[in-house]
């Protein structure tokens, strides 16, 4: 039963994707943007059901990215239900409190609750826990455009691979507008995960080292390390 539902939904999503592509016709000659080696940006994050749209989680967050180190920090702030942060077995009073994912040397990803001074290694490359590549849009094609918060944004659709649906919207000059994915974690409750970037907060340039520092108490492997859902 589980398998069949999952298969049906995958087929529907792929069908929708093919229809989208055939409607939009010839691919444009636009080239997908490459991320700068270092940048930071703030965002608003939401999860909602694909069918009846109630928002289940909503929180603010930020990315600090520096591929020259390489290191990155993804903040999912109060209210978050981030699947890396949740369920790691840390001793927390509020599992939905501010949580940072710290990526170090493309080797370790730590889950850090700064307010509770709790931290552990959740996963690494073997589980797909690596920094986003600067060229993650290389295979993406421009299938649609949209206006996000009054700005014209170009849509880049990544072929189904990690996520069945993986859509990025960026301005023509490469400022991130939004990112929408449909991760199939549960075969029936298909939810859309979206980040809406604060375009004014986008900053290209080195990240102050203090922001990427791993606290000294990030010593141990999590009691329940992250296991990818599929
Ligand atoms: C948090 O995520 C879990 C696992 O995906 C889900 O079961 C739960 O309903 C979510 N909670 C909220 C408040 O969205
Ligand atoms: C969990 O944290 C609470 C308070 O922060 C503390 O009293 C308790 O001993 C901790 N439990 C473990 C197993 O570390
Ligand atoms: C999106 O906008 C760009 C820039 O204006 C344009 O070149 C491209 O053809 C548009 N793509 C679609 C699918 O409309
Ligand atoms: C949307 O645009 C307004 C006006 O430019 C700006 O004040 C606000 O911060 C923007 N919001 C986001 C999420 O970018």
| Reduced 3-state DSSP string for 181-229 | EECCCCCCCCEEEEEEEEEEEEEECCCCHHHHCCCCCCCCECCCCCCCC
**Residue 151: CB within 6 Å of ligand 4?**
no
pLDDT for residue 190 = 76
pLDDT for residue 230 = 61
Residue with the nearest Cα to atom 7 of ligand 4?
200
**Which ligand 1 atom sits closest to the C-alpha of 186?**
5
201 or 51, higher pLDDT: 201
User: Residue 56 and residue 40: Cα distance in Å, rounded?
Assistant: 26
Q: Give me the half-sphere count of Cα atoms (radius 13 Å) on the Cβ side of residue 113.
A: 24
- DSSP secondary structure letter of residue 174: S
User: Residue 84 and residue 103: Cα distance in Å, rounded?
Assistant: 12
User: Residue 165 and residue 181: Cα distance in Å, rounded?
Assistant: 5
Mean pLDDT throughout 50-76?
91
Mean pLDDT throughout 129-139?
95
Rounded to the nearest angstrom, the distance between the alpha carbon of 167 and the centre of ligand 1 is 22
User: Per-residue confidence at 189, pLDDT binned at 50, 70, 90?
Assistant: low
Range with lowest mean pLDDT among 45-49, 65-69, 95-99, 140-144: 45-49
Non-local CB neighbours of 179 within 8 Å, separated by 6+ positions: 167, 168, 169, 194, 195, 197
Residue with the nearest Cα to atom 9 of ligand 1?
56
Instruction: Return the ligand number nearest the Cα of 149.
Output: 4
Mean pLDDT throughout 15-44?
73
Mean pLDDT throughout 76-101?
97
> How many other C-beta atoms lie within 10 A of the C-beta of residue 193?
19
Instruction: Return the ligand number nearest the Cα of 43.
Output: 4
User: Residue 44 and residue 76: Cα distance in Å, rounded?
Assistant: 9
What are residue 5's phi and psi, to 5 degrees? -60, -40
Whether pLDDT at 22 is above 50: no
**Residue 144: CB within 6 Å of ligand 3?**
yes
**Residue 194: CB within 6 Å of ligand 4?**
no
- Give percent of the chain with pLDDT exceeding 70: 84
Whether pLDDT at 229 is above 80: no
Rounded to the nearest angstrom, the distance between the alpha carbon of 165 and the centre of ligand 2 is 40
Rounded to the nearest angstrom, the distance between the alpha carbon of 111 and the centre of ligand 2 is 18
Structure tokens at 79: 């209210």
Cα dihedral value 117, 110, 61, 93, nearest 10 = -40
Residue with the nearest Cα to atom 14 of ligand 1?
56
Whether pLDDT at 40 is above 80: yes
Q: What is the DSSP string of 141-166?
A: EEEEEEEETTEEEEEEEPPSSSSSEE
**Residue 30: CB within 6 Å of ligand 3?**
yes
DSSP-based three-state secondary structure for 228: coil
Task: Pick from 26, 27, 142 the residue to mutate for probing ligand 3's pocket: most ligand atoms within 8 Å of its CB.
Answer: 142
Q: Give me the half-sphere count of Cα atoms (radius 13 Å) on the Cβ side of residue 117.
A: 2
- Give percent of the chain with pLDDT exceeding 90: 73
What are residue 177's phi and psi, to 5 degrees? -105, -55
**Residue 49: CB within 6 Å of ligand 1?**
no
**Residue 56: CB within 6 Å of ligand 3?**
no
């Amino acid at each position: 039963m589980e398998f069949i539902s999952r298969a049906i939904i995958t087929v529907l999503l792929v069908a929708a994707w093919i229809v989208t592509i055939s409607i939009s016709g010839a691919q444009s000659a636009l080239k997908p943007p490459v991320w700068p080696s270092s940048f930071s940006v703030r965002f608003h994050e939401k999860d909602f059901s694909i069918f009846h749209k109630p928002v289940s989680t909503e929180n603010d967050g930020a990315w600090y990215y520096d591929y020259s180190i390489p290191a990155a920090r993804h903040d999912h702030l109060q209210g978050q239900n981030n699947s890396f942060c949740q369920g790691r077995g840390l001793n927390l009073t509020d599992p939905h409190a501010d949580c940072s994912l710290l990526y170090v040397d493309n080797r370790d990803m730590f889950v850090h609750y700064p307010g509770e001074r709790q931290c552990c290694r959740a996963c690494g490359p073997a589980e797909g826990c690596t920094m986003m590549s600067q060229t993650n849009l290389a295979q993406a094609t421009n299938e649609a455009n949209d206006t996000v918060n009054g700005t014209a944004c170009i849509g880049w659709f990544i072929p189904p691979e990690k996520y069945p649906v993986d859509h990025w919207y960026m301005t023509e000059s490469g400022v991130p507008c939004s990112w929408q994915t449909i991760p199939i974690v549960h075969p029936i409750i298909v939810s859309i995960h979206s980040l809406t970037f604060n375009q004014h907060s986008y900053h290209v340039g080195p990240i102050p080292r203090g922001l990427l520092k791993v606290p000294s108490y990030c010593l141990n492997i999590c009691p329940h390390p992250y296991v990818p859902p599929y």
